[in-house]
């Protein structure tokens, strides 16, 4: 039998699927002694319920055994119930259970199991970490001071950023969250992300909105909701600020527009205020006409700001019986040479008529669907 050298074993373990590696470590003492010193690469970790954790396609759950006639898992212990760990693989449908031999409390057992899986490692590299408010954050805290994750993308639902302690290093790529209070925009975990996606914005003061968001230096900022009190003037003030400060090429910002004029009228006002030019995008895969037509605003000889409407979200209001639309306004800074290659000037009549036709079609489609 051939013996695998340590450098070869290290390379194999570092790139093997995470759950497979954890299983090998649990079964083989020789591997267990060395594998925690090797970076663990995980595609996705999900803390979504109390005392439960998903690693890629496997779920690890700690709970007290329930009588067979009861189907809902509950951490409340009654007489003659044993504490157990259940492993489930969503792809292979494999499932296994193991009972704890000691009379552990569920919190102690969870800390031991999750600490064994992810704790005391030299490095845990996670592509996507998802944490929900339904007990997920409390469960993640069992790893506090036991694990230090290097996270590329973080999705946080209902959790304040201030609650993320030293467990998570600042994300490099993407952060998705229910938007915090303005003070949380100063947190390094938010400011260092390349892309941030905000699903709900809790502060509805337009002045605070402008002061908070215009100073964000993230490459891409997406506010996938409407901000109460946000006006067209506020959005154009952000464009003015970007032009005055010569925002870096490649920067982009988008927000859903639920107030003010229609998207076609908004683009017309942008053109008039900034002496812009109507342009047509050539390199777009979108079937949305409002994503194709845009307004170009010259910043200097090297860059321009492009403004367009995109991704119209609409639904039928059951109370008013009217179709409500929330188009997204997209602002992007492009280099002059890049911009010249993908756009062409358009007459105002073309852009306005095309957008009006698209808006009518979107409304008719939604009406017939509902």
Check if the beta carbon of residue 198 is closer than 8 Å to that of residue 225: yes
Tokens of 159: 């959790």
Give me the residues of the chain with pLDDT under 50, please. Answer: 70-73, 75, 77, 283-291, 341-342, 344-345, 351, 355-370
pLDDT at 283: 46
Predicted local distance difference test score (pLDDT) of residue 292: 60
pLDDT of residue 56: 95
- Token digits of residue 334: 């492009």
**Confidence at residue 341, expressed as pLDDT on a 0 to 100 scale:** 46
Using the CB atoms, write b or e for 279-288: b if 16+ within 10 Å: bbeeeeeeeb
- pTM of the predicted structure, to 2 decimals: 0.72
Task: Please tell me whether residue 232 adopts helix, strand or coil conformation.
Answer: helix
- Distance CA(42)–CA(40), nearest Å, equals 6
Residue for token digits 């212990």?
A: 77
What is the secondary structure of 241-308 as a DSSP string? HHHHHTPPTT-EEEEE--SSS-HHHHHHHHHHHHT-EEEEESS-----HHHHEEEEEE-SSSEEEEEE
42 token code pair: 């995980």
pLDDT of 348: 52
Angstrom distance (rounded) from CA 80 to CA 65 = 9
According to the model, what pLDDT value does residue 158 have? 61
Helix segments in 54-161, DSSP class H: 106-118, 136-140
pLDDT at 367: 46
Q: Look at residues 339, 331, 335, 303 and name the one whose alpha carbon lies nearest to residue 216.
A: 331
Which pLDDT score, from 0 to 100, does residue 227 have?
A: 75
Measured in residues, the chain has a length of 370
CA distances from 315 to 96, 194, 222, 366 (A): 44, 31, 21, 7
| CA contacts within 13 A on the Cβ side of 363 | 12
Instruction: Give the model's pLDDT for residue 164.
Output: 58
Which tens digits make up the pLDDT trace of 288-304? 444 467 889 999 988 99
What is the pLDDT, as a whole number, of residue 223? 85
- DSSP class of residue 329? E
């Amino acid at each position: 039998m051939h013996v695998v050298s340590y450098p070869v074993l290290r390379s194999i373990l570092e790139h093997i699927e995470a759950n497979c590696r954890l299983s090998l470590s649990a079964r083989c003492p020789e591997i267990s002694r060395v594998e925690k010193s090797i970076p663990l690469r995980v595609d996705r970790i999900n803390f979504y319920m109390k005392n439960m954790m998903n690693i890629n396609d496997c779920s690890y759950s700690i709970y007290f055994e329930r009588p067979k006639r009861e189907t809902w898992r509950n951490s409340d212990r009654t007489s003659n119930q044993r504490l157990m760990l259940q492993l489930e693989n969503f792809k292979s449908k494999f499932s296994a259970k193991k009972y704890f031999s000691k009379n552990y409390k569920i919190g102690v057992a969870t800390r031991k199991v999750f600490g064994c899986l992810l704790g005391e490692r030299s490095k845990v590299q996670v592509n996507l970490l998802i944490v929900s408010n339904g007990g997920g954050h409390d469960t993640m805290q069992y790893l506090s001071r036991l694990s230090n994750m290097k996270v590329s993308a973080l999705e946080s639902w209902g959790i304040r950023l201030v609650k993320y302690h030293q467990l998570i290093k600042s994300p490099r790529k993407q952060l998705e969250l229910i938007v915090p209070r303005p003070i949380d925009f100063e947190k390094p975990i938010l400011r260092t992300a390349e892309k941030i996606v905000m699903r709900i914005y809790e502060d509805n003061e337009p002045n605070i909105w402008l002061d908070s968001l215009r100073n964000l230096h993230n490459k891409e900022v997406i506010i996938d909701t409407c901000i109460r009190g946000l006006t067209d003037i506020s959005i154009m003030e952000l464009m003015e600020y970007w032009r005055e400060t010569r925002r870096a090429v490649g920067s982009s910002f988008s927000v859903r527009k639920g107030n003010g004029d229609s998207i076609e009228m908004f683009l017309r006002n942008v053109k008039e205020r900034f002496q812009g030019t109507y342009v047509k995008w050539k390199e777009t895969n979108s079937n949305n006409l409002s994503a194709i037509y845009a307004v170009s605003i010259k910043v200097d000889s090297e860059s321009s700001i492009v403004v367009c409407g995109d991704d119209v979200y609409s639904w039928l209001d059951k109370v008013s019986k009217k179709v409500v639309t929330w188009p997204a306004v997209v602002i992007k800074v492009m280099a002059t040479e890049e911009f010249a290659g993908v756009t062409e000037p358009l007459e105002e009549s073309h852009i306005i008529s095309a957008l009006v036709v698209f808006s009518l079609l979107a409304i008719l489609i939604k009406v017939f669907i509902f």
